A = this chain, B = another copy of it.
Amino acid sequence: YLDTANYEPLDEAKFEYSWQWAYKDRYTRAGITAILGCGFDPGVTSVFTAYAAKHHFDEIHYLDIVDCNAGDHGKPFATNFNPEINIREVTQKGKYWENGKWVYTKPHEIHKPLTYPGIGPRESYLIYHEELESLVKNFPTLKRARFWMTFGQEYLTHLRVIQNIGMAGIEPVMFEGREIIPIRFLKAVLPDPGGLGENYKGETSIGCRIRGIKNGKEKTYYIYNNCSHEAAYAETGAQAVSYTTGVPAVIGAMMYLKGVWKKPGVFNVEEFDPDPFMEQLNKLGLPWVELHDTDLEL
């Protein structure tokens, strides 16, 4: 088993690993492997973190995953993947890990401009993202772990209105004698994310900014990948958000088939050896860049 995102119940705007982690004993006894969250984020960001912990730090203390989509698809509003999941994800309360517990924020309460390589400063919003749950469990030295995502003002305005008018709702509404879930119908009227690729310009930039200890000294480290929407589309007919999710899933499958990520049980990707995965990222179109002792802004 391999996936790129958390299971989400149909009737609740919520995601967590508990339902999948509950299969650990059964997978172990059956001698089969489950690889959870093997897209870009979660996925590559988790492998980046494991790679940093393995090679560059004795202890990682502060982790900030930063996700910038500086692309322009030329449409007034569209989501880059399943609108139902996208809207549920970005309109939920913010949440991050600090000093051994989860801290909650209002949606988009915490934000600041962060500078992305080759892109420049972009307003970035602290949101909850699923890899935080497994990373703080698998890297217990973390004092703080946060996730930041860029949103344009227009995107946020559209989201706010979609919520105000009730179209983000997941409770059924009676319409012409039948129950209809508003956000499902919204998905039917919004542009198909798969159709955004053709005129999509610009790049994504996703990475991990980490502060920790190496040989008794504080150290900072930033590892990231930039992916061009146009190059992704030219190669595959899909935009960068699809590309950066699909390629890591392919690599995850390759890791399993080569036997290097094959062990009985249910695992998040940071629990495997990151090195062979990192090598394939460079070969298969998602090269990564490391910056040492740089200003993390965070």
Query: How long is the Cα–Cα vector from A161 to B182 in the complex, in angstroms?
Result: 16
Residue of B nearest to A191 (CB): B166
Tell me if A291 is interfacial: C-beta within 8 Å of chain B: no
Report the stretch among A1-9, A173-181, A209-217, A226-234 that lies at the interface: A173-181
Chain A interface helix/strand/loop/mixed: mixed
Contact in complex: A164, B173 (CB < 8 Å): no
- B-contact bits for A181-214, CB 8 A (1 contact / 0 none): 0101110111000000000000000000000000
In the complex, chain B residues whose CB is within 8 Å of the CB of A161: 77, 157-158, 161-162
Contact in complex: B175, A188 (CB < 8 Å): yes
Which among B164, B175, B176 is the interface contact of A77 at CB below 8 angstroms?
B164
In the complex, chain B residues whose CB is within 8 Å of the CB of A136: none
Query: How long is the Cα–Cα vector from A118 to B79 in the complex, in angstroms?
Result: 45
Give A175 Cβ to nearest chain B Cβ, in Å: 5
Query: How long is the Cα–Cα vector from A86 to B176 in the complex, in angstroms?
Result: 21
In the complex, chain B residues whose CB is within 8 Å of the CB of A166: 189-190
Tell me if A167 is interfacial: C-beta within 8 Å of chain B: yes
Which among B158, B164, B174, B184 is the interface contact of A188 at CB below 8 angstroms?
B174
Residue of B nearest to A158 (CB): B161
Contact in complex: B162, A165 (CB < 8 Å): yes
Contact in complex: B190, A180 (CB < 8 Å): no
| A/B interface sample: 30 pairs, CB < 8 A | A76-B165, A77-B161, A77-B165, A157-B161, A158-B161, A158-B164, A161-B161, A161-B162, A162-B165, A165-B167, A165-B186, A165-B189, A166-B189, A166-B190, A167-B186, A167-B189, A169-B189, A173-B185, A173-B188, A174-B188, A175-B184, A175-B185, A176-B180, A176-B184, A178-B178, A180-B180, A180-B185, A180-B188, A182-B189, A185-B185
Interface residues of A (CB under 8 A from B): 76-77, 157-158, 161-162, 164-167, 169, 173-176, 178, 180, 182, 184-186, 188-190
In the complex, chain B residues whose CB is within 8 Å of the CB of A185: 173, 175, 180, 182, 185
In the complex, chain B residues whose CB is within 8 Å of the CB of A184: 175-176
Contact in complex: B164, A76 (CB < 8 Å): yes
Query: How long is the Cα–Cα vector from A43 to B93 in the complex, in angstroms?
Result: 49
Give A158 Cβ to nearest chain B Cβ, in Å: 5
In the complex, chain B residues whose CB is within 8 Å of the CB of A190: 165-166
Query: How long is the Cα–Cα vector from A76 to B166 in the complex, in angstroms?
Result: 10
Query: How long is the Cα–Cα vector from A161 to B161 in the complex, in angstroms?
Result: 7
Give A173 Cβ to nearest chain B Cβ, in Å: 6
Query: How long is the Cα–Cα vector from A186 to B169 in the complex, in angstroms?
Result: 12
Residue of B nearest to A174 (CB): B188
In the complex, chain B residues whose CB is within 8 Å of the CB of A157: 157, 161
Query: How long is the Cα–Cα vector from A174 to B184 in the complex, in angstroms?
Result: 12
